[in-house]
């Protein structure tokens, strides 16, 4: 999760700055060049499975995947954890990756380039939080307690970001950083779902959990857009583009806050790890 957040950091303010300096087309070619370089390095540096191991893997992977998915799909607790995981990832999918920048533009009357630094702070915080939360879960021997504490803190920090009109820009950046730190609980959901299946189905557990986790983006990114359009009520700028105000963003972001509060309530009814072990 931490390494993945580095990609988010590079894709926010640094990319916006590069587009401003050299243009979007040249920036895209540079990013594509890095992708090609990584592909070449992966091809030459990653070891291949031996022929025997490869054959055994091919025979067992489909059977293990389907068996693991059946175990998970029949367990209501797993589905509950998957939904909670998707909600816990909203700081990234709904805020940092899409709506944070236009929100900050309206809140502080910033350009897109200047506002893009705000999402960078969330990515940095989230990367740090994804390391802190497993450490704390080990210390407390409980994923559930850490999830409850951090989800409450996420909701507490998110409220002044959106609804405190008197906050300064730098104060808001600090809270966005904390918003990312407290939101970095996804590794604990992977641990809890992995704990529910035999070890040979761990890959199925991780893949299915990640699918449910990312479903939050499929739902909430367009949902917030629909809400903004409904609040806009046909308002447009002089050039005919849609007109969104700061108040519209405040009203739309209420959905995220409500989901966080709901997840706190639901976490009270979720069992912790079946057997104490390192996270």
Provide DSSP, 79-99: HHHHHHHHHHTHIIIIIIIII
Give per-residue pLDDT as tens, 136-194.
Answer: 999 998 999 999 999 999 999 999 999 998 999 999 999 999 999 999 998 998 888 88
- Which value, in Å, is the radius of gyration of the alpha carbons in the chain? 21
Any idea of the CA torsion for 130, 133, 139, 142, to the nearest 10 degrees?
Answer: -130
Residue 276 DSSP label: -
Tell me if 182 sits within 8 A of 211, measured CB to CB.
no
Strands (E) located in 27-180: none
DSSP state, 205?
Answer: H
How many other CB atoms sit within 10 Å of the CB of residue 27?
18
- For residue 68 the two structure tokens come to 């693991």
pLDDT tens digits for range 39-60: 999 898 888 766 555 555 555 6
Pair 184, 130: CB distance under 8 Å: yes
CA neighbor of 5 nearest in space, from 94, 155, 126, 114: 126
Q: Among 8-17, 23-32, 152-161, where is mean pLDDT lowest? A: 8-17
Under CATH, which number does the domain 2-267 receive?
1.20.1250.20
**Is the pLDDT assigned to residue 279 strictly greater than 80?**
no
């Amino acid at each position: 999760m931490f390494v993945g957040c580095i990609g988010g950091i590079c894709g926010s303010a640094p990319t916006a700055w590069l587009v401003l300096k050299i243009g979007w087309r040249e920036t895209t070619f540079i990013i594509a060049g890095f992708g090609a370089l990584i592909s070449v390095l992966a091809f030459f540096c990653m070891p291949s499975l031996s022929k025997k191991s490869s054959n055994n893997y091919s025979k067992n992977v489909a059977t293990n995947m389907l068996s693991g998915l059946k175990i998970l799909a029949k367990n209501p607790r797993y589905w509950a954890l998957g939904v909670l995981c998707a909600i816990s990832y909203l700081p990234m999918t709904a805020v940092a990756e899409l709506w944070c920048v236009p929100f900050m533009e309206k809140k502080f009357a910033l350009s897109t380039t200047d506002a893009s630094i705000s999402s960078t702070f969330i990515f940095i915080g989230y990367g740090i939080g994804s390391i802190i939360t497993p450490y704390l879960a080990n210390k407390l021997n409980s994923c559930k307690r850490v999830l409850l504490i951090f989800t409450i803190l996420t909701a507490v920090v998110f409220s002044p970001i959106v609804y405190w009109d008197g906050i300064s820009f730098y104060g808001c950046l600090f809270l966005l950083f904390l918003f990312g730190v407290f939101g970095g609980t996804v590794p604990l959901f992977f641990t809890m779902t992995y704990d529910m299946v035999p070890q040979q189905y761990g890959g199925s557990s991780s893949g299915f959990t990640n699918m449910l986790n990312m479903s939050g983006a499929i739902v909430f990114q367009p949902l917030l857009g629909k809400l903004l359009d409904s609040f806009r009520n046909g308002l447009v700028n002089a050039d005919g583009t849609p007109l969104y105000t700061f108040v519209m963003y405040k009203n739309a972001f209420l959905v995220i806050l409500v989901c966080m509060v709901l997840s706190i309530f639901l976490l009270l009814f979720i069992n912790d790890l079946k057997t104490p072990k390192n996270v």
